[in-house]
Structure 1
Amino acid sequence: MSTGTFDDTRPYTKPVQQRYELGLSENPYPPLPPVLDELNRMMAQVNRYPEFLPEQLPRVIGNRIGVGPEQIVVGGGATGVAMQIMQALIGSGEDMVFATPTFDGYPIMAGIAGVRATTVALDGLGRQDLWAMVRAIGPRTRVAVVCRPHNPTGTLVSASELQAFLAAVPRRVVVVLDEAYVEFLHPSDTLDVVRLIRRYPNVLVLRTFSKAYGLAGLRIGYAVAARELAARIRRWQIPFGMNAAAVAAVRASYAAEAELRERVRAITTEREQLAATLRRLGVVVPESHANFLYLDGPEIAPALRRAGIVAKSYPNGSARIAVGDPDAGRAVVAALLEEQLAGPGK
């Protein structure tokens, strides 16, 4: 993997003639049919406010996971919950630790909240360097973030690595385990969240309905934590902050589990086929466990941009692309093949 300098706050640039939007790791499919039915039904009631403070949604999610509603924090997507976490846990002059590059929201929100960010470079294979993160934790560190799978490379911290990391982190530091893409993991790679937070009360698991469930526009995210930790974060809950359709959409999404598994299988199958094709072209592609691929190379992002493909680009020329749409995948291959054929004198 290239070792260039990254700037996570740099937005991607849309081309003049856009063909495919692959820069936001969105689900290429609309919400599942039963979820759409529920959303259409809810539209007749949007003249009414949602709950002043959410009670039903934490109950629905808690029942699904196997914890009480008092252990669930909900917000406007995982990003909204992450902002509540920063506001609740990190004071003036204190800091948080996370890998770089990572999800754009962390450095952006740290800047908004006035939080000092300590970043740790990925290793040569695009993985989070957990032991470097442990060494980066100082006396004023309050939060450390581990993404599983990691964004943007899609790499996965193993369960044993994570356990060793958590054992080494001081209990005064809250570890945010960002599982935004957990539904794309193989079942053997998933963690027992209930057991994890029981053993490590300083761990907070962050998830979203934006990715696998295809509800990015509804902004529904949540965190699972020990009661005391969840209570600290819920104090930053915005009144009327959750949309009125959230409960119905989540219930319908949970009820459509079989359809969700089929959709995830289609996306991950396309991911593996596209990754194999790109590697045959000589593109460096780390093994991904999410719904995107990280394409490492100095000319990747410019080549995609010229082809009208929006990607999340990085200053070293690499790019992250959402997967799942076969037509978009073929366009990516064609763009990079054309780049190769054009050669250095293009």
Structure 2
Amino acid sequence: MAQTPQARANVAAIPTYVPGKPPTPRPGLTTFKLSSNENPYPPLPGVVEAALGAAEAMNRYPDMGNSALYAALSDYLDVPVSDLAAATGSVALIYQLFNAFCEPGDEVVYAWRSFEAYPIAATAAAAVSVQVPVRPDGRHDLDAMAAAITDRTRVVIVCTPNNPTGPGVTQSELDAFLARVPSHVLVVVDEAYLEFVRMDEAIDGLATYRAHPNVVLTRTFSKAYGLAGFRVGYAVGSPAIAGALRAVSLPFGVSSVAQAAAIASLASADALFERVGALVDERSRVVEGVRAAGWDIPDAQGNFVWFALGERTDEFAAAADELGIVVRPFAGEGARVSIGEDEANDRLIELARTFPR
């Protein structure tokens, strides 16, 4: 029998990414999608106009060097252009980091449960995932993560705030952790939900990357900026790290429309922080309402809350669906619920009051 082409063995082991599903249509009832941590607000002022203007030149390739975007980010963050790398969302940067820094069999250490794409990207790069359980309160166990580093470790990820559990890492915690990480190990500080953080001693990612040549920050325009459909993320790291990311990037990966929308979003900082502030206020209202209903949920520093439900997760998700809201269940563990429109948040609080604990 003739042989057929075979993918590498690790490809068959890649876990499937499970996206947040849309709500079930219910006649007479407005339904809400709270399963994907999307921003419920429309694009920021000037973004649609910039995107439409860029779309008029869709017959041309985008700027492969992202030069205008890098210039805008450089001004906004006060970092050199040489320290920047852009990609189709921060998740693409995670893939690129593993591809650039991991040989097959190298280890990647990260908290679990954390962002669902980490084990997918690690397996795709033929790296080995070392998953360190989060603490009962959903926080990173940084001591255990430091102890998990071996001679085979090449990358460590700190997701703060942690998706899907919610808590963030403090600067003193991160500093103590970095002091234990060998200088040749790349530390990725995933700040996808940076703009929503309102905790004491929140980390200063830019100061941390400047102080530690082995630290790279990953950020996104998908969450606070509301550009999830355009897929724009960026990394901030030393010239060597950022250069490696650019070297393995997909040519023309970030579209002209996405670049224009991201630049326009940076120019609307006042409107951005007004909207983020409103979402943070809603997050506080939801947390207070859920806790008043008797739930002990973790600290929420992203645009979502976490219910540790164990084997009742699917039952909770079904009850939410009956109320016209769809949540993101992680079977056997818990459910993540995004902060959405006021009415959607009201229904979540109602669910917390009525679902048996």
Q: TM-score, normalised by structure 1?
A: 0.91
Structure 1 SS opposite 2:76: helix
- Asked whether 1:325 is paired with 2:325, we answer no
Structure 1 SS opposite 2:145: helix
Could you say which residue in structure 1 is the equivalent of 2:5? none
Please state how far the C-alpha of 1:307 moved relative to its aligned partner: 3.2
- Asked whether 1:183 is paired with 2:210, we answer no
- CA pair 11-45 structure 1, distance change in 2 beyond 3 A: closer
Partners of 2:273 and 2:133 in 1: CA distance: 34
Q: TM-score, normalised by structure 2?
A: 0.88
Is residue 339–residue 345 contact of structure 2 (8 Å, CA) maintained in 1? Answer: yes
Could you say which residue in structure 1 is the equivalent of 2:274? 262
The residue type paired with residue 225 of structure 1 is G
Could you say which residue in structure 1 is the equivalent of 2:102? 90
The residue type paired with residue 313 of structure 1 is P
Partners of 1:248 and 1:14 in 2: CA distance: 28
Structure 2 SS opposite 1:295: strand
Could you say which residue in structure 1 is the equivalent of 2:11? none
- CA pair 25-189 structure 1, distance change in 2 beyond 3 A: farther
Structure 2 SS opposite 1:303: helix
Could you say which residue in structure 2 is the equivalent of 1:24? 36
Could you say which residue in structure 2 is the equivalent of 1:242? 254
> Where do residues 1-346 of structure 1 align in structure 2 (5 Å cutoff)?
16-17=24-25, 19-186=31-198, 189-297=201-309, 298=312, 299-316=315-332, 318-340=334-356
Is residue 295–residue 320 contact of structure 1 (8 Å, CA) maintained in 2? Answer: yes
RMSD: 2.1
Q: What runs of 5+ residues in structure 2 fail to find an aligned partner?
A: 1-14
Please state how far the C-alpha of 1:47 moved relative to its aligned partner: 2.1
Higher relative contact order (CA 8 A, sep 6+): 1
**Residue range with higher mean Cα deviation, 168-177 or 183-192:** 183-192
- CA pair 189-300 structure 1, distance change in 2 beyond 3 A: farther
Partners of 2:268 and 2:226 in 1: CA distance: 13
Q: What runs of 5+ residues in structure 1 fail to find an aligned partner?
A: 1-6
Partners of 2:142 and 2:88 in 1: CA distance: 28
Equivalences, count: 335
- CA pair 10-253 structure 1, distance change in 2 beyond 3 A: closer
Please state how far the C-alpha of 1:155 moved relative to its aligned partner: 0.2
Partners of 1:234 and 1:323 in 2: CA distance: 34
Please state how far the C-alpha of 1:270 moved relative to its aligned partner: 0.6
The residue type paired with residue 319 of structure 1 is A
Partners of 2:316 and 2:263 in 1: CA distance: 40
